[in-house]
Chain A
């Protein structure tokens, strides 16, 4: 069984080659020896994967980098060098979009990161009916995202008869504007996104918690640790590897938030929920006549580079803890 202790090693293996890798300077192999050594079989075995990846994964990436240097309506093409990048950087809305995206990420980390962990820890303590709780927690993930948004649009109805406002009314709280005001729109989106996404994280944390050796808890108990100290000194350190990976995944995901602002608010009110991805979408599609695919891909490329750098920095910074 894989223990969580091994997880950091998994991350590590991405950087350093495994020790049993063949030494680089082996004797040169002729095509004939390659063939007799089963090279063709290997290649054929890999061929389907290579074809599928090349076709659906790598070629779009290369194409989008190429397109970021062109002006195109997908019918005519013209090389414009770095113009697209300059135009995107000069767009006053870019700053708004970046700030909004960061705001979303911060809110998502505040609500969305600790909540699934807390739920998982609580649920792992439950002796009976664990499966039911897991299923309940996972249920929102099964709901198609568009359906979830439509559902929450009803919840967020800003009239006093809206679902949330009715509930608030019971406690004498006046109706809230939810999606209909700049200040509340973004937190509302994050709330829905957290609800929709928490289940998946809960399941992963639950699986990770199962792998924590019970002896550690027993030992902590013998030392007189209470619930909180057990969580702090045993559970969290044991989950460290998973937590690191989940955090970076969440940062990557929040930086690419699109569905919620697109479906809930279309970027409004007054650009309060325009995110970077929504801006990319707008460059490409808002202008009905196939606007600036070049600028859209230029911004995508910049976002991809920013996220790659972030991931790199993140792993560098956490190297100390994960080794």
Chain B
């Protein structure tokens, strides 16, 4: 029986098993340190961003010698997030937008950190409206709200100048936005105004455009049910506005399949005059898309009609539910150190700002307070000397935003409804005969079916 064939076959079998076994044994905790994988910046960030992070990592590891922090490239994107979640490839610490926190929490996909937040002593310092985003019915806390934003109007100062417009007095009404867009397109051949339309961002920005005109795409009935109100005058006005820019003025360029990444790319490349997005996008524009800070401008969204407000949102630092107790403790340590202390502690704030400035990263990007107003203003004073974003080019935003009452994102089946609205925005921009009323009626019915189905 010991023929050469048997021996060869046995060797082959052993080799296979051995190689499979080798695959499954991952990198263990070498040097006895606890390895903590944390989300850093999106793929494609420049070398300076890595340097800044490395610096922060070193500082943290000096204070916490038994934790080995490993930065993992991470960007929250609707489709890839689900894949990462399903595939178990999310870092131990990552961030999610407010819109997803509730569902993740209900699905048991987040770690309870109530005791830790209380121990750190800032459970009552959070803006309660924002803290509610990460609490279950019993008031348990499942994450650290770390940053909030309101929608703003981002514009390219260079294109404004080329079109003979004054970049220091940006448009304040939608009619002025339209005129400016037309002038830019006329003078430069670039898109005067652009809008996201793909990968759920079409719905997101349509909800924002509707809210800025007093419309809401959904009503919260307060008992866990929601009523779809997509076909409201605000949404109609928002789509009519796009239709006029696209077909009457032809001031929206030629690309109507943009999402968060591609619109930022186009804007950073100087191909877009104006677009709406979260006020905090400056960091990403400059750091990840190499936008020229000198040509950047930010102002508040024009608000028209009753109840109009800028759509707001934000994100939350959370811990994967698959971590061990020690990893959880380390993760809390990291979140507190990396995200929270710079809002609470003068030394931490300065240290963070210093590290960022040293590697040419943005400090002072316009965000909204997640902690109480007083703590927020205080934290901005601490870092006043380090702020390197062009604040005077954002004065339109800073001067106006605290007078605007932010509108929360719709809560029921948010991303699914955003996905449902993408093709509507696309239809208006690619089909001159698109019937806005009919499209919205249908979307309303479809959205209600989604909401009832839950």
Q: Which residues of A contact B (CB under 8 A)?
A: 35-36, 38, 40-42, 44-45, 47-48, 51-52, 55, 73-76, 92, 157-159, 162, 175, 177, 179-182, 264-271, 281-282, 284-291, 293
Contacts and interface: CB of A to CB of B under 8 A. Distances in A.
Given A287-B82, A290-B86, A182 B431 contact: yes
Contacts of A266: 198-199, 257, 259, 422
A52 B19 CA distance: 11
Contacts of A180: 254-257, 430
Interface in B72-88: 77-83, 85-86
B432 to A, nearest CB: 10
30 contacts: A38-B3, A38-B6, A41-B3, A44-B10, A47-B12, A51-B17, A157-B255, A158-B254, A162-B254, A175-B254, A177-B430, A180-B255, A182-B430, A268-B422, A269-B429, A270-B423, A270-B424, A270-B427, A270-B434, A281-B79, A282-B419, A285-B83, A285-B86, A286-B78, A286-B79, A286-B200, A287-B415, A289-B85, A290-B82, A291-B82
B257 A269 contact: yes
A290 B423 contact: no
Contact of B415 (A74, A175, A289, A293): A289
B427 A45 contact: no
B13 A47 contact: yes
Contact of A269 (B13, B16, B427): B427
B16 A288 contact: no
Given A44-B10, A268-B197, A289 B103 contact: yes
A225 B363 CA distance: 79
A267 B20 CA distance: 38
Interface of B: 1, 3, 5-6, 8-10, 12-13, 15-17, 20, 77-83, 85-86, 100, 103-104, 107-109, 189, 197-200, 253-257, 259, 415-416, 419, 422-424, 426-427, 429-431, 434, 446
Nearest to B10: A44
A271 B442 CA distance: 15
Nearest to A184: B430
A74 B254 CA distance: 41
A36 B9 contact: no
B79 to A, nearest CB: 4
Contact of B254 (A159, A182, A268, A271): A159
B9 A159 contact: no
A291 B256 CA distance: 26
Nearest to B79: A285
A159 B253 contact: yes
Given A159-B254, A182-B430, A41 B100 contact: no
Given A48-B16, A266-B257, A286-B200, A41 B5 contact: yes
A267 B424 CA distance: 13
A206 to B, nearest CB: 36
Contacts of A159: 189, 253-255
A287 B203 CA distance: 12
A24 B198 CA distance: 59
Nearest to B15: A48
A45 B8 contact: yes
Contacts of A38: 1, 3, 5-6
Contacts of B77: 288
A268 B16 contact: no
B16 A47 contact: yes
B214 to A, nearest CB: 27
Contacts of A287: 78, 82, 415-416, 419
A265 B430 CA distance: 13
Contact of A288 (B78, B198, B446): B78
Contacts of B16: 47-48, 51-52
A191 to B, nearest CB: 17
Contacts of A175: 254
Contact of B431 (A55, A270, A288): A270
Nearest to B4: A41
Contacts of B253: 159
Contacts of A162: 254
B420 to A, nearest CB: 10
Contacts of B100: 288-289
B229 to A, nearest CB: 21
Contacts of A291: 82, 416
A25 to B, nearest CB: 28
A289 B80 CA distance: 10
Given A48-B12, A180-B256, A288-B415, 5 more contacts: A45-B5, A182-B431, A269-B426, A285-B86, A289-B100
Given A75-B107, A180-B254, A266-B198, A44 B9 contact: yes
Nearest to A281: B79
A300 to B, nearest CB: 15
A265 B415 contact: no
Given A51-B20, A269-B426, A270-B426, A288 B254 contact: no
Nearest to B253: A159
B37 to A, nearest CB: 19
Contacts of A51: 16-17, 20
Contacts of A181: 430-431
Nearest to B5: A41
A23 to B, nearest CB: 25
